[in-house]
């Protein structure tokens, strides 16, 4: 007899959500985590969007370990000496059911994994799943569990759910990934800067548990990517996301790029006097829908970052909610397949059907081209400069010369940039198609 009905590898949001659904359904599930506790090795540079938790854990906001509720979103276009910011805030996001929140992943992931354990899942930490167990030890044998780095630590089950991160060795071993293209990945690098709580609230113009999320374009020294900055209770997270091949092709290190962004006149006053408490980095699946692998195989499902289900589409930078959504769908599909006694790829087809029917795949399809548009050369190198120059010219007073008028300013800046009108029209068209 197998040890478990299902083995879930990775106790991040995807894995814990899948384990929670399975445990509530009465299934014997093992949640395997390589770190000393869930979230200990997880890093992210963004916001937790919790709507997907409403049905899984009703009233989750009353107990989840949240740092701040994001009531202010800002998008900044930056050059070496300029910054143009679209800043939005709303009181509607300051109360239940809330829109987004900042959190420390070790706290949040441990809390969510604890829910799975409370429901009956077995959590095994400090254990690395080194590979798949197959029936008869044959390469073509049915998957019957995972091999771990513990002595006599093989775990058996008729079904494995791989939630083992962006570079999923289990999904690759199962043959669910094709050729890996480095251009589909970015590396996210983050510093956590400590500041007194009252200082953060004064500088970012918030109070109580309200928080701020900044997304920044034009801060990556010519490398395709972007920056971010968001507030916790007594720390500020600041970092960059960088295209892997472009980063490898030049001499700047990620910490140098962050240092230059922190020194910018629009950012430096916000972080002045802060002490760096943490530096971390991780790989991000940036290409969205175009890099999603096969999601189900015989005896195997893939969810979360392991399935490239991370939305990196300009102003929409989301990951935790897609991990939870895919984890829930995986848990439901696994429960259904086990009940029917069919864990073949065909028997697990309900997983893809669930993803197609909810926001996970619909949003990825809708914004399929957005990442490619945002990472384009003109969006990265030219448009922040053009936009900042246009605004600077609009507000510059050059008496006794009269104001030139907006049309003339725009024409002048476009001409100065060296771009052709047809390039602008094509980018506008692609942008409408990508974000429409």
pLDDT in tens, 246-259: 999 988 999 999 99
**Does residue 302 fall inside a structural domain?**
yes
Q: Which helix (H) or strand (E) holds 56?
A: helix 53-56
The CATH number of the domain where 253 resides is what? 3.30.9.90
Same domain, 253 and 386: no
Domain residues for the domain of 141 are: 6-67+103-179+288-367
Strands (DSSP E) contained in 121-271 are 122-124, 129-134, 143-148, 155-156, 159-162, 185-194, 210-217, 225-231, 235-243
**Does residue 73 fall inside a structural domain?**
no
**Does residue 94 fall inside a structural domain?**
no
**Does residue 82 fall inside a structural domain?**
no
**Does residue 408 fall inside a structural domain?**
yes
197 Cβ contact list (under 8 Å, min separation 6): 233, 234
**Does residue 232 fall inside a structural domain?**
yes
Q: Which of 355, 321, 347, 5 is nearest to 161 (CA)?
A: 5
Give the span between the Cα atoms of 180 and 167, in whole angstroms.
10
Place of tokens 């669910």: 176
Contact 147, 129 (CB under 8 A): yes
pTM: 0.95
Neighbour tally for 35: CB within 10 Å: 18
In the listed set 285, 313, 345, which residue is the last one of a domain according to the structure? 285
Cis peptide before 97 (omega within 30 of 0): yes
- In the numeric block, which tokens belong to residue 32? 């395997």
Same domain, 411 and 426: yes
Same domain, 174 and 190: no
Same domain, 123 and 26: yes
Same domain, 218 and 204: yes
In the listed set 285, 302, 337, which residue is the last one of a domain according to the structure? 285
Contact 53, 17 (CB under 8 A): no
CA–CA distances in Å: residue 219 to residues 60, 137, 418: 36, 51, 21
Phi, psi torsion values for 211, nearest 5 degrees: -140, 175
Same domain, 314 and 357: yes
Same domain, 249 and 352: no
Same domain, 207 and 274: yes
pLDDT attached to residue 213:
96
Give the residues of the chain that fall short of pLDDT 50.
Answer: none
Same domain, 125 and 54: yes
Same domain, 62 and 37: yes
- Number of structural domains the chain divides into: 3
Same domain, 306 and 256: no
Same domain, 206 and 269: yes
**Does residue 89 fall inside a structural domain?**
no
Give the span between the Cα atoms of 58 and 296, in whole angstroms.
29
pLDDT attached to residue 311:
87
Place of tokens 């002045």: 272
In the listed set 285, 313, 346, which residue is the last one of a domain according to the structure? 285
**Does residue 74 fall inside a structural domain?**
no
Q: What share of the chain is helix, strand, coil (3-state, %, to 5)?
A: 40, 25, 35
Give the span between the Cα atoms of 67 and 209, in whole angstroms.
7
pLDDT attached to residue 436:
64
- In the numeric block, which tokens belong to residue 64? 């989840």
pLDDT attached to residue 147:
96
| Each residue's pLDDT tens digit, 323-360 | 999 999 999 999 999 999 999 999 999 999 999 999 99
The CATH number of the domain where 327 resides is what? 3.50.50.60
């Amino acid at each position: 007899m197998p040890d478990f009905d299902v083995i879930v590898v990775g106790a991040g949001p995807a894995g814990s959500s899948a384990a929670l659904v399975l445990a509530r359904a009465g299934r014997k599930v093992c949640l395997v985590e390589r770190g000393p506790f869930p979230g200990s090795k997880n890093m992210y540079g963004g916001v937790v969007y919790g709507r997907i938790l409403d049905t899984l854990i009703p009233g989750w906001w009353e107990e989840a370990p949240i740092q701040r509720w994001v009531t202010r979103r800002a998008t900044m276009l930056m050059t070496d000496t300029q910054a143009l910011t679209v800043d939005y805030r709303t009181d509607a996001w300051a109360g239940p059911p809330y829109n987004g929140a900042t959190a420390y992943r070790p706290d949040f992931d441990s809390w969510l994994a604890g829910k799975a354990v409370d429901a009956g899942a077995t959590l095994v930490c400090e254990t690395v799943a080194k590979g798949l167990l197959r029936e008869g030890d044959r390469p073509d044998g049915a998957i019957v569990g995972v091999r771990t780095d513990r002595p006599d630590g093989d775990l058996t089950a008729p079904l494995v759910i791989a939630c083992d991160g962006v570079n999923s060795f289990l999904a690759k071993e199962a043959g669910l990934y094709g050729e890996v293209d480095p251009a589909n990945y970015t590396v996210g690098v983050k510093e956590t800067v400590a500041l007194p709580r009252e200082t953060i609230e004064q500088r970012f113009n918030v109070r109580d548990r309200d928080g701020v999320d900044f997304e920044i374009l034009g801060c990556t020294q010519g490398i395709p990517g972007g920056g971010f900055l968001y507030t916790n209770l007594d720390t500020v997270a600041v970092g960059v996301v960088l295209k892997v091949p472009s980063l490898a092709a030049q001499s700047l290190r990620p910490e140098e790029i962050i240092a230059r962004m922190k020194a910018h006149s629009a950012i430096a006053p916000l972080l002045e006097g802060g002490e760096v408490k943490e530096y971390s980095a991780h790989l991000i699946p940036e290409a969205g829908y175009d890099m999603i692998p096969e999601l189900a195989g015989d005896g195997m499902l893939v969810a979360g970052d392991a399935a490239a289900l991370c939305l990196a589409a300009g102003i929409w930078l989301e990951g935790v909610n897609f991990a939870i959504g895919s984890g829930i769908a995986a848990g439901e599909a696994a429960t259904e397949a086990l009940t029917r006694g069919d864990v073949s790829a065909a028997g697990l087809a309900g997983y893809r059907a669930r993803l197609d029917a909810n926001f996970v795949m619909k949003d990825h399809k809708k914004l399929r081209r957005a990442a490619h548009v945002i990472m384009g050369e003109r969006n990265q190198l030219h448009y922040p400069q053009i936009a900042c120059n246009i605004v600077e010219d609009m507000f510059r007073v050059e008496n006794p010369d009269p104001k030139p008028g907006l049309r003339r300013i725009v024409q002048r800046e476009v001409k100065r940039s060296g771009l052709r009108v047809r390039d602008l029209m094509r980018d506008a068209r692609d942008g409408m198609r990508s974000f429409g």
